[in-house]
Amino acid sequence: MSRSSLEEKLRGLNKEELYDLIQGMRLKILESDELILEWLKENEVDCKSSVDDDLLMTYWCKAEEIISEFNEYGGGLRYEEDKAYDYLI
């Protein structure tokens, strides 16, 4: 399927179908919540302060997971350390 064909199909969906599509993707793709929140923030959707809070918690949870693993094993890989740092800044 070509990119333009997919775009046509997406444009043809109503709100309920788009919502169902997004919910289905959220169940299958772990990073989708973060991507959705970032999109909402970038596009300045009305619920901005709520989006900021949710993004902060998403980033904190990811950083916390890495930090906890480091604490358990006494350190970790440099790229994991960089990922945790990027989530916290």
Q: Both 39 and 82 in a single domain?
A: yes
Cα-based distances in Å from 72 to 68, 69, 86: 6, 5, 21
Q: Which of 30-34, 44-48, 68-72 has the highest average model confidence (pLDDT)?
A: 68-72
**Boundaries of domain holding 87:** 31-89
Q: Quick one: pLDDT at residue 48?
A: 62
SS (H, E, C) 33-80: HHHHHHHHHHCCCCCHHHHHHHHHHHHHHHHHHHHHHHHHHCCCCHHH
Answer whether residue 62 shows pLDDT above 90. no
pTM as predicted: 0.56
* Whole-number Å distance between alpha carbons of 62 and 88: 9
Q: Both 57 and 40 in a single domain?
A: yes
Q: Both 24 and 36 in a single domain?
A: no
Q: What is the overall mean pLDDT for the chain?
A: 86
Look up tokens 């991507």; give the residue. Answer: 35
Q: Both 45 and 74 in a single domain?
A: yes
Query: What does the pLDDT look like over 7-38, one tens digit per residue?
Result: 899 999 999 999 999 999 988 987 888 888 88
**Residues 41 and 55 sit within 8 Å (Cβ to Cβ):** yes
Domain count, the chain: 2
The mean per-residue pLDDT over the stretch 52-75 comes to: 87
Q: Both 59 and 79 in a single domain?
A: yes
